[in-house]
Chain A
């Protein structure tokens, strides 16, 4: 597998997705439109890691702007029969201690689940978004791939914390401790999401639940009927924001510029037509439509209201439980498919991952399943996952 879009160092111990800026190194978010773009500064998370002695090994391949399932549609990648995420596979190989990825629509969590490594998507506002190639500012968050919870803590302790360069960065202290004590915790399984998964995945959830029970965790199945509407709302919001954030890639300033244009409109149209892949274009068109005057109230406006309702209902649920156990995707393995089908496929798979993006809550993928919690519940999630990880197979 081609792990890197751009390799930086042979002695690196941390990889960063190509959606994260590293000063002077091509950062293209898997897209042709940013071919040749070398940023003038590094992402805050990268700067903090380097200051603590970490060395970046390279820029791991991502699907264009991380909009796809796991990274299958990178301009700089290679086609594979079964699709996997580059950063997740690299972490699994043990070549690096950890990798950073941007979670905007679940591709990082799906990739971690498929490769069987951990990925933490932290609470919104805990890690600076300064220096990530932004698609959906209201829900994207930088997270960490690693082999186990202790390595996640190690990296999160470095990269989290207030950054004045990011207006959404919170002023708060965080705790990523795996307390090694899951006993007495209560976890629920969302029935509606379990039903969307195939038998193999259902079995995975059940066996994970069993392991939790063995560690003294109470697990029960419940109904939370807002998953579908939460996903639709997030697909609308993230498409709209992505459409807006990608409109700066116009061939004028940096990155890819098409040849043979006669005027500024042609320069825009040709550069963007040639620079973006079909999935990105579909997201842009969808996002443009939901923001249009006639559709705004029914689509974007309503999605903002849904966000509030889901937030309130999820918080209510989290008063009764410490965490939610769900699949991270509908099956254990995905085979290659045509990009023409990507928009619908991603839309459908995102039902498992959308809630944390929509309302800014944390999610941890471990053992190929997903644990979700309320805001700042990272330590609880890591403790639950850690207790299972230490049991072994």
Chain B
């Protein structure tokens, strides 16, 4: 019998904010030592009250907009109760009844994945075990998270991996999360059913997965375990929470009784309901980076190649630079080539990556425009670019100083052409005999004679005209 795999995901994403969700403790990436990013609020001391970080709301809404969700205009927080030493208040502040986003949709290949909801919550701390002692580190407590819950719409491990890859590049390009190692964690709900069946099978949950490679292996293993249980009655499937062991590649039932726990959720009276009015929503919408699909489409339409689009999407800084340069009046396709080929090449020589690029959109757009308007030729443009990137010079001053914009009129070009043709009778004969390549050599010789000045397009057309005579 053939079986169909049914998977739903709960994905936790750490938000890229300056401070924690309910206190002003600094960003999550800064602490070097245990408990050096902790205050009375995030360590659960009496007397402290949570105060909402507005930026968390804005990033959660932005994520919801990117995933085509409905944005709740009224959203509230609830307390989830459980005892664990890494949870200083013995409750987690999360959203149960009025989550911030609902009913979204995201396409992965040909599959539409429905998003049930996105909610905001705080992270817990961490325990460090040393010998017979255990230590608590609260640096991570109250770090803001969003949890994205999908409907059981995935039918393969590949779709799950594609979805997570898409989320990562979306959230990176949207400035929502750095999505670095461990900043995106998944709980995978998985079941199998005979192909064609409408009913769901027994569901198990694999908790706390972060590497895509491990997620793929875990799903494959767990699916096979379910199929074996149904097909060969190897074991009886029970609804439970499991853990994936990376070394053996197997999943194991977790000993704790988490599935049966009653978290006694109830509204948090310390946090007033958040009202998202039209004005605020519009503000968030206008600040929202264009959704990744729309953006890729826009680039495609502008004639940017697929390979270039791939480089741009997922690199927030670079795609923003391109967008800025375009908005300053430069051609999209040209600008993409300038950034992804020329700038990247210059950096590569210095052993740097494109993400190290340090140039203002204004300076870059000046260089691009000078070339596009024929004021300097492309080779000169590249010289200017190198100087701007490496020596931080002003592009216009550099052009003037080096007389790169020296006017070379058609007469001068024609004179040079005549001189070169006379000096290269073989090449000219080759070209006239049908060797197209020979033109390049003659052209190069003219450029050398012109010392890089002069418009290449003018040169080319004059040269071709002359040779056809």
Contacts and interface: CB of A to CB of B under 8 A. Distances in A.
- Do A and B bind? yes
Interface of A: 21, 27, 29, 34, 37, 39-41, 43, 129-134, 136-138, 164-168, 240-241, 244, 247-248, 250, 252-254, 264, 268, 288, 291-293, 296, 300, 304
Interface stretch (B39-47, B319-327, B420-428): B39-47
A136 B266 CA distance: 13
A254 B269 contact: no
Contacts of A43: 47
Given A40-B45, A247-B81, A248-B44, A167 B271 contact: yes
23 contacts: A27-B47, A39-B40, A41-B40, A41-B47, A134-B46, A137-B268, A137-B269, A167-B49, A167-B271, A167-B272, A168-B269, A244-B266, A247-B90, A248-B88, A248-B89, A253-B43, A253-B45, A253-B136, A264-B134, A291-B264, A291-B266, A292-B262, A296-B266
A184 B378 CA distance: 91
A130 B48 contact: yes
Given A247-B91, A296-B264, 20 more contacts: A21-B46, A21-B47, A41-B40, A43-B47, A130-B49, A132-B47, A134-B47, A136-B269, A167-B50, A244-B81, A244-B91, A244-B264, A250-B83, A253-B43, A264-B134, A291-B81, A291-B264, A291-B266, A292-B262, A293-B264
B79 interface: yes
B345 interface: no
B270 to A, nearest CB: 5
Contacts of B262: 292-293
Closest 10 CB pairs of A and B: A138-B269, A247-B90, A291-B264, A137-B269, A131-B47, A21-B47, A248-B89, A133-B46, A248-B44, A137-B270
B83 A247 contact: yes
A136 to B, nearest CB: 8
Which of B81, B270, B272 neighbours the largest number of chain A CB atoms within 10 Å of its CB?
Answer: B270
B46 A165 contact: no
A295 B266 CA distance: 12
Interface string B233-271: 000000000000000000000000000001011111111
Interface centre among B44, B49, B50, B85, by most chain A C-beta atoms within 10 angstroms, is B49
A168 B270 contact: yes
B291 interface: no
A264 B272 contact: no
Nearest to A43: B47
Interface residues of B, number: 31
A167 B81 CA distance: 21
B85 A264 contact: yes
A34 B45 CA distance: 11
B51 interface: yes
Interface in B106-153: 134, 136
B47 A292 contact: no
Nearest to A139: B269
B270 A167 contact: yes
Contacts of A27: 46-47
Contacts of A34: 46
B45 A300 contact: no
Nearest to A249: B46
Contacts of A41: 40, 47
B363 interface: no
B371 interface: no
A217 to B, nearest CB: 35
B372 interface: no
Contacts of B45: 39-40, 253-254
A21 B46 CA distance: 9
A159 to B, nearest CB: 15
Contacts of B265: 291
A171 to B, nearest CB: 12
B52 interface: yes
Contacts of A296: 264, 266
Contacts of A244: 79, 81, 91, 264, 266
Contact of B83 (A133, A168, A253, A268): A268
B49 A129 contact: yes
Contacts of A250: 83, 85, 90
B51 A164 contact: yes
Contacts of A131: 47
Contacts of B267: 304
Given A244-B79, A247-B81, A253 B272 contact: no
Interface string B179-199: 000000000000000000000
B262 to A, nearest CB: 5
Contacts of B48: 130
Interface string B267-301: 11111100000000000000000000000000000
Contacts of B50: 167
A248 B43 CA distance: 10
A137 B91 CA distance: 14
A240 B79 CA distance: 11
A250 B271 CA distance: 24
Interface in B50-99: 50-52, 79, 81, 83, 85, 88-91
A129 B266 CA distance: 20
B76 to A, nearest CB: 12
A138 B271 CA distance: 10
Contacts of A168: 49, 269-270, 272
A252 B81 contact: no
A130 B47 contact: yes
Nearest to B22: A167
